[in-house]
Chain A
Amino acid sequence: MQKTERLLNLLILLLVQRRFVSKARVRALIDDYRDASDEAFERMFERDKGELRALGVPLETGQVDGFFDDEPGYRIPADEFALPGIELTADEAAVLGLATRVWQHAGLAAHTSDALTKLTAAGVEIDRGRLDMLAPEITTEEPTFDALWQATLDRQRVSFEHQRSGATAPTKRTIEPWGLVSAQGRWYVVGRDLDRDAERMFRLSRIHGKVSKVGRPRSYDVPDGLDLRAVTRRLGPGPRTEEASVLVRTGAGAALRRTASSVEEGVTGPDGTQAWDRLRLAVSSVRWLADEVLAHGTTVVAESPQALVDDVVGRLDALLAAGASA
């Protein structure tokens, strides 16, 4: 008996029965299970259930009604087995054809292809040549990606060593992972931090070493209606609400000019000449703008708010008082 045959017959057996089928009955019916030792049967059956679930089969565990109260049973509800009807336009289907070229990760590229196979079975006609456009790639350079992806799917708690930017040493975090988010080329894991009992986001490139599983799969629920992208925006840099103005020498500060909301040309600068422009900017933090102003040297001068000027001058004075030598 081939393994494919065993898997498919197990699937059909659990799908066509309306009630839970006991483990003993499953074993009695399928040749490979009947012929195996107790231990080999248990192993084989566990693995087979896992593979069917990985295919997307909703294999449920429950109690068999009747004589043997505590006997576990299994079933596959037909209404949950089926993909709901989906109607795609030709343009939407063409977009799907491109999707298979995006993942630069063998496992996830295969998942994408498997998804398209099922949609094809549902009658979606995917034309891979219709849309003529470059497919951007998505990569997963971070070594912890696979472990976190799997833990999120399994709803299994994990712990890892995470080093915050600027921290001297990593700290151990234990989280319930809700999902992974890619933003500006980096992956983040979003979830509930158990020690802090709060929503947190961690950059995968700041996780040191391995991710360890804690406890059992399916041990928590992801909040209803979770919108991963919204969470990321909420935890990311704040909105640009600080109004600031800086003076920039004519021709300099191209990066700042690009983000300016207005430019006033030919204003008098600190050197008494009019070779300066006043830029007004909305920024998410004065601190970020102070870094930019300093990096530009004598070509950019902070003007307002006062906190910006104080930060720039205070940092220069601290340096000049202490010296720059180590």
Chain B
Amino acid sequence: MSSAKDQVGRLLALVPLIRRRGEIHVDEAASLLGVTSAQLLGDLQVLIFCGWPGWLPGDLIEVDLDALEPGGDGMIRIANADYLAAPLRLSRAEASALLVALQTLRSSAGADVLPSIDSAVAKIEEAVGGAPVASVVPPAGPAAATRRVVDGALHDGRQLRLRYLVASRDEVTERVVDPVAVVTAGGVAYLDAWCHRAGDRRSFRLDRVLEAEQLATPVAHHDLAPLDLSEGIFRPADDLPVVTLRLRRPARWVAEYYPVESATERPDGDLEVTLRVADPAWLQRLLLRLTPHARIAGPEEFTRAYLQNATAVRSMYATHVG
């Protein structure tokens, strides 16, 4: 079932199309308009009741329905519809949706395709007139180049060699992966892949891929279900230790950024959160970054380690008089 609005939209496209060509086969027209031939025949059955106000026989749009009967040549011919000969302009919603889609294509496009995207955008903006209601800021910097390599490997079904920064350990790792998909969670793009080094599925933040190179080896089939991102990309296991932090204003972003188990506003204005700690080094790095805006309500071992680390860092500035 097709809505009346969609049907009107198709008929307004069909009339100028036929006007340009004189006649067009029903199957070709249906494929150009993205519907079945049966649907298009249904549209034409309505068109014959439309026309110049008054709607007497001579006023109506004429469609050669005999040609579309079984045994006919299947060509659509329309007469008496000159006033609908011009294609309808794009609505702002249509123009905006199309322009955003084209701008998004830039992130995967190689240097050979970029000029076509940019010139298509310019021509459509020109034809539409008026500012679109939405836009995309193009990706830039090294992450944009990585994205193109990753998308290329995904498209070609080839393995990737990555130099990847494990930020919690400040360690650069080399690995070969079978790319599965690029996914976005919380505004960050990740490569979902089978990692041959880990022998397991891993998610790699694209902005921490220092180098990506497509290999000649085709990817193996791993039969992986799509990632469930409903609770974000990190899914800490239930048996991990929990830390309770009290966050002052400059540190509150933690609750937005990491999958906190709980978040409670305290009367003193702090936000108390509990987090599962998969890697103690990760927690220490986070605490140092937040200094001095996060305090630890427990357990004690995390507090001790944090103070030791902070003291060691302070000793690097021994000569500094604060």
User: A residues bordering B, Cβ < 8 Å?
Assistant: 1-9, 11-13, 15-17, 29, 51-58, 78, 80-89, 91-96, 98-100, 102-103, 108-109, 111-123, 131-139, 149, 152-153, 165-168, 179-186, 205, 222, 225-229, 232-233, 252-255, 258, 270-271, 291-292, 294-299, 301-302, 309-310, 312-320, 322-326
A interface secondary structure, majority? helix
- Residues on B with C-beta less than 8 A from A51 are 4-5, 8
Separation of A199 and B307 alpha carbons in the complex (Å): 44
- Residues on A with C-beta less than 8 A from B86 are 78, 81-83
**In the complex with contacts A270-B318, A312-B317, A95-B310 CB distance below 8 A:** no
Q: Which 9 pairs from chain A and chain B are nearest by CB?
A: A56-B91, A82-B86, A319-B292, A111-B97, A121-B13, A121-B87, A295-B289, A3-B4, A115-B94
Residue of A nearest to B154 (CB): A134
- Residues on A with C-beta less than 8 A from B4 are 2-4, 6-7, 51
B167:A255 contact, CB within 8 angstroms: yes
Residue of B nearest to A117 (CB): B13
Q: Is B155 an interface residue when CB atoms closer than 8 A count as contact?
A: yes
- Residues on B with C-beta less than 8 A from A54 are 5, 91, 93
Quote the shortest CB–CB distance from B13 to chain A (angstroms): 4
Quote the shortest CB–CB distance from A19 to chain B (angstroms): 13
Q: Which of B83-134 contact A (CB under 8 A)?
A: 83-84, 86-98, 100-102, 104-105, 107-110, 113, 116-117, 119-120, 123-124, 127, 131-134
* Inter-chain residue pair count (beta carbon < 8 A): 363
Separation of A243 and B248 alpha carbons in the complex (Å): 29
- Residues on A with C-beta less than 8 A from B271 are 168
**In the complex with contacts A165-B253, A185-B188, A324-B295, A298-B313 CB distance below 8 A:** yes
With A15-B83, A118-B90, A271-B316 already in contact, 9 other A-B pairs whose C-beta atoms are closer than 8 Å: A7-B5, A12-B83, A56-B89, A92-B120, A96-B102, A113-B34, A121-B16, A181-B137, A318-B292
Quote the shortest CB–CB distance from A287 to chain B (angstroms): 9
B317:A103 contact, CB within 8 angstroms: no
Of A117, A166, A325, which is within 8 A of B250 by CB? A166
A317:B314 contact, CB within 8 angstroms: yes
Indicate the member of B13, B98, B151 with the most A CB atoms within 10 Å: B98
A102:B165 contact, CB within 8 angstroms: no
Q: B286-322 interface mask toward A, CB cutoff 8 Å, 1 = contact, 0 = none? A: 1111011001111000010011011111101110101
Of B10, B188, B313, which is within 8 A of A117 by CB? B10
Separation of A271 and B312 alpha carbons in the complex (Å): 12
Separation of A161 and B131 alpha carbons in the complex (Å): 27
Q: Is B79 an interface residue when CB atoms closer than 8 A count as contact?
A: no
Q: Is B74 an interface residue when CB atoms closer than 8 A count as contact?
A: no
Q: Which of B151-198 contact A (CB under 8 A)?
A: 151-152, 154-155, 165, 167, 170-172, 182, 184, 186-189
Stretch at the interface among B46-54, B64-72, B212-220: B46-54
- Residues on B with C-beta less than 8 A from A118 are 12-13, 87-90, 94
B interface secondary structure, majority? helix
Residue of B nearest to A29 (CB): B53
**In the complex with contacts A123-B20, A133-B109, A182-B137, A294-B291 CB distance below 8 A:** yes
Separation of A122 and B14 alpha carbons in the complex (Å): 10
A134:B155 contact, CB within 8 angstroms: yes
Quote the shortest CB–CB distance from A252 to chain B (angstroms): 5
Q: Sample 13 A-B pairs with CB under 8 A, ordered by A number.
A: A8-B46, A56-B88, A118-B88, A121-B13, A133-B109, A136-B147, A168-B271, A181-B134, A229-B136, A252-B170, A255-B167, A317-B314, A320-B307
**In the complex with contacts A88-B123, A180-B133, A135-B105 CB distance below 8 A:** yes
- Residues on B with C-beta less than 8 A from A299 are 170
Separation of A83 and B313 alpha carbons in the complex (Å): 65
Q: Is B226 an interface residue when CB atoms closer than 8 A count as contact?
A: no
B285:A295 contact, CB within 8 angstroms: yes
Q: B250-283 interface mask toward A, CB cutoff 8 Å, 1 = contact, 0 = none? A: 1011001000000001000101000000000000
A4:B13 contact, CB within 8 angstroms: no
B127:A135 contact, CB within 8 angstroms: no
A325:B296 contact, CB within 8 angstroms: yes
**In the complex with contacts A83-B86, A98-B105, A324-B303 CB distance below 8 A:** yes
Separation of A281 and B171 alpha carbons in the complex (Å): 21
Q: Is B41 an interface residue when CB atoms closer than 8 A count as contact?
A: no
- Residues on B with C-beta less than 8 A from A229 are 135-138
A168:B265 contact, CB within 8 angstroms: yes
- Residues on B with C-beta less than 8 A from A253 are 170
Of B94, B165, B269, which is within 8 A of A255 by CB? B165
